[in-house]
Structure 1
Amino acid sequence: MAKIAFLLGKITNIGGIPRVVSLLTNSLVDKTNHEIIIIAYEKGKHEGYNWNSNIRFYHLLNSPTKMKYGIFKGVPKLRKILKAQKSDILISCGSLYGPLGVLATRFNSTKLVYWDHSNYFENTSHQMKIESKNFTAKFADIVVPLTKTDKKNYKNHTKAKEIIQIYNPIDPALENLNHKYDVKSKKIISVGRLTNQKNFMTLVDVAHIVLHEFPDYEWHIYGSGPDQEKINTRIIEKKLEGKLILKGQSDNLYSLYKEYSMMVMTSIYEGFPMTLLEGMANGLPLVSFDIPTGPNEIITDDKNGYLIEPFDIERMAEMIMGLLTNESLRINFSTENRSRLNVFNNTTITRKWDVLFNDLTSK
C-alpha cells in the first residue's frame, strides 16, 4: 500500500483536471489498497464530482493568489502536509503546479510524479509554461503525459528521468452502455468550454456550410465560457439562429449523447480530449481537426471517424456532409467506436497507475 497525494489547483465541478483526478482517485480507492489525499492550491468546495468519502482534502492557500507570490507560502505548507501524512508519492497535476511539487519534495522521501494534462508545446494558459514543464520534468521521478506523441516530446525536449504514458480514463458511468445508435437523428453535437482553445468561431463557419445544405439538421454546442457572446454574435451574422444552438452547461449531458448523429471537435489544441471519449462510449461517429495530440490516438481516419487537416473549414464541412448522407458508414463508425473502449476503460487505466505506484515505492 502507498500513501499518495494529488496536488491540483482548485477542487471544483468545472474543469478537466479535477474531473479526471476524481475519476482516477475514486477508482484507486475502490480497486486498490492505496491511501489517497487531495491537496488543492486554493481553497474550494469539493463538490460536483462525487469524490469517494474515504478521500481526505487539504488546501494550501485560503484565497486566489498568483503562483509567483503563492509559491512562497505554498511550499512550506505542502511540505508540512506531506510530512504529517507520511506521503510516499506526490502527483503534481498540471504544469502550473509542477514547480511547487518539485520544491516541496526536494530532499525528503516523497517521490514526485508529474502528470501533464495538456500537450507539451501548449503555452497559452500561463506564462513560462514550457519552462515550467522542463523544470518539473528534470526533477520528477516520473513524468506521465497523456499521449504517445507527448511521450516522444518529453523524451526529445526534456531531461526527464522516466516517462510513462497513460491515457485518461472514460467515466465508468459511460462504460457498457447498451442503447442503440440513432441513425435517423438529425442533430450534431459539440462539447467544450466556450474559449479560444475550443475554436467555436471556426465551428460556426463549418456549420454555416453544413446547415445550409442540410436545413433539416440542428447543431448543438454544450458548454459555457467567456466567448459565449462572441460566438453568439457570429451565429447571428451567419443567420444560424435556431439551427446552431448554444445549449449552455448541462448536468445531464451523459443522457443526451444518444440523441445525436455524430460529434464534431474543432479545438486548436488539446491534451487528451475527454469529450471525444464520451462520444466514443456512446457510439457516435467522430470528426475532429488532426491537431498534434489527442484526436489521432482516439480516431483512426475512415475507421471510426475523420481526422481533418487543421483548420480546413471546407474539408471538415465536406466530410461531415458525406457522413450525413451515408447511414451505413455512420453505423460502421459507431460499431467500431464501441469496440475500442477497452483501451480507455477505468479498470485498464487504474491498473496502469497501480503498477506505476507499486514500482515507484519499491525503488
Structure 2
Amino acid sequence: MKLLYIVPKIKNAGGVARVLSIKANYFIENFGYEVHILSQNEETDLSFYNFNSKVVFHNMILKGNTFQFLKSYTKEVKQKIKQINPDVILVADNGLKAFVFPFIIKTKTPIVFECHGSKFIEEQSQKTNLLSKLIQKLKYRFKDFAVRRFTKIVALSDESLQEWNVENGVVIPNPSWIQTKNFTDLKNKKVITAARNSYEKGLDRLLLIWKKAGEKHPDWTLDIYTDDIESLEKKAISLGIKSGINYFKFVNNIEENYLEASIYAMTSRTEGFPMVLLEAMALGLPCIAYDCPIGPRTIITNAENGFLIHDNNEEMFVEKLSFLIENEEVRSKFSLNAKKTSQQFNIDKVMKMWETFLENLNLGNSF
C-alpha cells in the first residue's frame, strides 16, 4: 500500500513529527508499505527524529499572502498526488488549510483527516470583543462542516471524536513506542517537561506554578526541554525566578532524561493525545497536568497514575505538585500504575488497528 501524508512540518521536534516517524517506520518495516510525506518550506532541513531511509520526503515552497499561499498549496498538492498516485491520503494538520483540503482537492483516492489536536486549538490568546468572538465561532462552524467532507476522520480518543460529532470517524490512539526494562527510581529531586514554547503548550503557566512550588521546595529543580530558551528564560526572570529551572534544547533520545526525573508536569492549554505523557509513563514517571481539552484525561486517571488539575486552577496545581514532591510513596504507587497505562497503548496493538483501518479503506469497505 502507498500512503501520502500531508503535514505542515515533519522535520522539527514537534509531537506530530515524533508520532509520524514512529508510524511511518512501522508501516515500512512491518507491513511493507510505501510512505511519502509532503511538508512545506523544509527544503534543506534535516529530520530531528529518525525516519526509515525508505520514507520519501517531498517539500512544497509556499509563500505570499493568503490567496497566493492557497493557490500554490493547491497546485503543489495536486502535482504530488498525480506523481505519487497514493492509495490513501492522510492530512495531519491543525491549520485551517487542512479543512479547506477536501474542497480544493478533487480525487477518488480516500482522504483521511488525522486529528492531532483539539477542535478549539488556538495559537494565541483570543480577544474577547464581539467581532473576535463571532470570527472564532464561524471558524469552529467551518471546521465542523469541512470535517464531514473527508472520507474518514481518525481521532486519538473518544473525547476527541466527541468534539467533532461526526459519523465518519474512528478512534486510533497514538502508540507507546518505548520498550525498555529501565525505569526511573524516583529518587532525583527533579520535575521535567518537554514542550514547544507556544501559547498552546502553556509553558508560561508552568513558570507561574514553579514560582510557588519551587520556593516551597528549593532543593528541587525543574528541567524544561523546549525550542525557545531565550524568551522563556526572560519570562521567568520577569516573574522573579532566578534559580531552580534548567533550560535545554529538545533532544532526540529524551527517555534518558526522563529516567533522571521523578515527576512529569504538563500545563498545555489544548492537546490532542500527548506523546510526552505516554513516554514519561512508559519509564515510570507519575504525571501531573491541567485537564485541558482534550488529551491528558485520556491518559491520566486522577489519583491513580498522576493528577489531573481543573484547567487553569493554579493553586490546586501547586498543591498537588507539592504533594507529589513530598510523598515518595505516592510517587511509587503512581509509577507502577503509569507503566500499566502505557502498556494499554502498545505499539503492535495500535499499529494493527491502523493496518485494519487502511486495508478496509483501500478496499472501499464501510466500517
- Structure 2 residue aligned with 1:166: 172
Give the CA deviation at 1:132: 5.4
RMSD across aligned C-alpha pairs, in angstroms? 2.3
Give the CA deviation at 1:80: 3.1
Sort the Cα spacing of 1:47 and 1:229 in 2 relative to 1 into closer, same or farther, 3 A: closer
Sort the Cα spacing of 1:10 and 1:214 in 2 relative to 1 into closer, same or farther, 3 A: closer
TM-score, with length taken from structure 1: 0.88
- Structure 2 residue aligned with 1:148: 158
Sort the Cα spacing of 1:233 and 1:166 in 2 relative to 1 into closer, same or farther, 3 A: same
The amino acid that maps onto 1:163 is G
- Structure 1 residue aligned with 2:353: 352
Task: State whether residues 88 and 109 of structure 1, in contact with CA within 8 Å, keep that contact through their aligned partners in structure 2.
Answer: no
- Structure 2 residue aligned with 1:51: 51
Report the Cα distance in structure 2 between the residues aligned to 1:70 and 1:161, rounded to whole angstroms: 31
Give the CA deviation at 1:213: 2.0
Match of 2:216 among 204, 213, 216: 213
Task: State whether residues 121 and 200 of structure 2, in contact with CA within 8 Å, keep that contact through their aligned partners in structure 1.
Answer: no
Report the Cα distance in structure 2 between the residues aligned to 1:280 and 1:299, rounded to whole angstroms: 9
Report the Cα distance in structure 2 between the residues aligned to 1:281 and 1:66, rounded to whole angstroms: 44
Sort the Cα spacing of 1:105 and 1:352 in 2 relative to 1 into closer, same or farther, 3 A: farther
Give the CA deviation at 1:245: 2.5
The count of residues paired between Structure 1 and Structure 2 equals: 351
Counting only pairs closer than 5 Å after superposition, residues 240-319 of structure 1 correspond to structure 2 as 240-319=241-320
Task: State whether residues 114 and 136 of structure 1, in contact with CA within 8 Å, keep that contact through their aligned partners in structure 2.
Answer: no
Sort the Cα spacing of 1:290 and 1:358 in 2 relative to 1 into closer, same or farther, 3 A: same
Sort the Cα spacing of 1:77 and 1:28 in 2 relative to 1 into closer, same or farther, 3 A: same
What's the secondary structure of 2:3's corresponding residue? strand
Gaps of 5+ in 1: none
**Deviation per residue, 1:234-284 (Å, 9 max, x gap):** 433554323122233334422111111101111111122121112111110
Report the Cα distance in structure 2 between the residues aligned to 1:116 and 1:209, rounded to whole angstroms: 35
What's the secondary structure of 2:148's corresponding residue? helix
What's the secondary structure of 1:198's corresponding residue? coil
Sort the Cα spacing of 1:24 and 1:321 in 2 relative to 1 into closer, same or farther, 3 A: same
Task: State whether residues 90 and 101 of structure 1, in contact with CA within 8 Å, keep that contact through their aligned partners in structure 2.
Answer: no
- Structure 1 residue aligned with 2:133: none
Sort the Cα spacing of 1:270 and 1:65 in 2 relative to 1 into closer, same or farther, 3 A: farther
Task: State whether residues 78 and 104 of structure 1, in contact with CA within 8 Å, keep that contact through their aligned partners in structure 2.
Answer: no
**Deviation per residue, 1:157-187 (Å, 9 max, x gap):** xxx44101111223x3x22x22243232111
- Structure 2 residue aligned with 1:201: 204
Task: State whether residues 35 and 55 of structure 2, in contact with CA within 8 Å, keep that contact through their aligned partners in structure 1.
Answer: yes
- Structure 2 residue aligned with 1:5: 4
Report the Cα distance in structure 1 between the residues aligned to 2:141 and 2:122, rounded to whole angstroms: 9
Counting only pairs closer than 5 Å after superposition, residues 116-135 of structure 1 correspond to structure 2 as 116-124=115-123, 130=140, 133-135=143-145
